[in-house]
Amino acid sequence: MSDKLILAINTGSTSTKIAVYRGAKSVFAANLTHTADDLQGHMEFTAQYEFRKKVIMDELARAGISVGDIALVMGRGGLLNPIRSGVYAVNDLMKEHLRQGWEKSKHGANLAALIADEMARSVPGARAFIADPPVVDELDDVARITGHPAFERKSIFHALNQKAIAKKYARDSGVAYESLNLIVAHLGGGVSVGAHRKGLIVDVNNALDGDGPFPPERAGALPPGDLAKLCFSGTKTQDDVRRMMVGGGGIVAHLGTNDARIVEKRIAGGDEKAKLVYEAMLYQVAKHIGAMFTVLMGEVDAIIITGGIAYSEMATGYIRGRVEKLAKVCVYPGEDEMEALAMNGLQALSGESEILEYR
């Protein structure tokens, strides 16, 4: 399958990433970031779909890559029903669930498989798959229980990057991923901190609209009593509250930007409010790493910091200073998600891994 042209699509909350592989070799990649202003006129899901698809098609055209040469389109996956880790063929049920949004939750990640399927259908013989979507669920049962039976903790996080980076660390260390205990902190548009125990992510915060640290554009965990009062205050609709939690929370709510680089420039210029809010985000990440240390009962081979914000020495230095006594800290800036998508697809096409059916 070394001659196959594979297109990988990763639609995140604030970016659209695409990469083209010929077999295992990368031949083109682009990371297209979207500011809050860019997305302002495209918040409705259908508009987001058309906007992201056009961005992808335009970028491929500029690169001189013909869609007709693509044999496989790999999408990141989205908010589906909880499923096990692996490669899944895009089917009608998956598309229906992505359009609806699992439990009515819609995210940029939902768009990748839909765009992948449309593009694959335009090329005779091409196929569309996803791999390790955000709803991969390997939680210990004890990690699901909350303080009331009406609520259960959910596994929604950066599964593709967490798995890819953890496995990369294992390869770099010359050991099997399944033999390691790791804490992986993904810092990007969203933040997830996962406890990896012998190849399974047994606990992780709901990085979409649940618990854990607040990232650049989500609220993270909020005081439940105050949130309940706000919901019944008559001043906010359900959509208003949802927007506060996803897309309009976190750094952007405090500082008016979702770009950590801009925040750091403001800090360098003496902005004390920016410094306090930014450090609060990083403080919460470090605190959650400490929580995952207890999940793994203190037996941790490494703490890994990854994602786009991991390029920042300010951010990684702050976290390192708070957690390095727990275990060695390794920084893998950026994401391996595109390569992970392509390699998962290549292995599925060659028969090295099973192509699973979404049900």
In a domain, 332, yes or no: no
Count CB-CB contacts under 10 A for residue 321.
12
Q: What is the pLDDT of residue 152?
A: 96
Judge if 297 and 160 occupy the same domain. yes
The letter for the amino acid at 326 is L
Instruction: Report, as an integer, the average pLDDT of 218-228.
Output: 96
Flag whether 217 is in a domain: yes
Q: Do residues 128 and 217 share a domain?
A: no
The pLDDT of residue 210 is 85
Across the chain, what does the average pLDDT equal?
A: 92
pLDDT of residue 106: 63
* One domain for residues 58 and 157: no
Contact at 8 Å (CB) between 115 and 45?
no
CATH code for the domain in which residue 301 is found: 3.30.420.40
228 lies in a domain? Answer: yes
- pLDDT, average across residues 329-349: 92
> What is the β-pairing status of strands 355-357 and 5-11?
unpaired
Across 152-171, average pLDDT: 94
118 and 256 in a single domain? The answer is no
**Is the confidence at residue 145, as pLDDT, over 60?**
yes
Q: Residues 283, 343: one domain?
A: no
| 317 and 346 both lie in a single domain | no
* pLDDT per position as a tens digit, 17-58: 999 999 989 999 999 887 666 666 655 666 788 888 998 999
The parent domain of residue 126 ranges over 5-135+337-357
Query: Could you tell me if 312 and 279 are in contact, meaning their C-beta atoms sit under 8 angstroms apart?
Result: no
65 has pLDDT over 70: yes
Q: Do residues 59 and 188 both lie within one domain?
A: no
Residues 75 and 149 reside in one and the same domain = no
Does a structural domain hold residue 353? Answer: yes
What pLDDT does 4 receive?
72
Is there a domain that residue 200 lies in?
yes
> pLDDT > 70: what percent of the chain?
94
Residue predicted with more confidence, 182 or 42: 182
Which of 41-45, 140-144, 239-243 has the lowest average pLDDT? Answer: 41-45
| Same structural domain, 189 and 236 | yes
- State whether 189 and 319 are in the same domain: yes
Comparing 119 with 43, the larger pLDDT belongs to 119
At 1 the pLDDT is 44
Residues 26 and 98 occupy one common structural domain = yes
- CA 323 from centroid of its chain's CA atoms: 23
Q: Are residues 105 and 157 in the same domain?
A: no
pLDDT of residue 335: 79
- Count of structural domains, the chain: 2
Determine if residue 174 is left, alpha or beta; phi over 0 gives left, psi from -120 to 50 gives alpha, anything else beta: left
Q: Per-residue pLDDT averaged across 309-319, rounded?
A: 98
**Which range has the worst mean pLDDT, 105-109, 204-208, 210-214, 340-344?**
105-109
Alpha helix ranges (H) inside 123-271? 159-173, 224-231, 238-245, 251-255, 260-268
Burial 115-132 (b: 16+ CB within 10 A, else e): bbbebbeebeebbbbbbb
pLDDT for residue 47: 72
Strand ranges inside 215-339, DSSP E: 302-307, 329-333
Q: Which residues contact 165 (CB under 8 A, 6 or more apart)?
A: 184, 186, 304, 306, 332, 335, 336
**Contact of 45 with 78, CB cutoff 8 Å:** no
Split at pLDDT 50, 70, 90, the class of 264 is very high
Q: Is the pLDDT of residue 2 over 60?
A: no
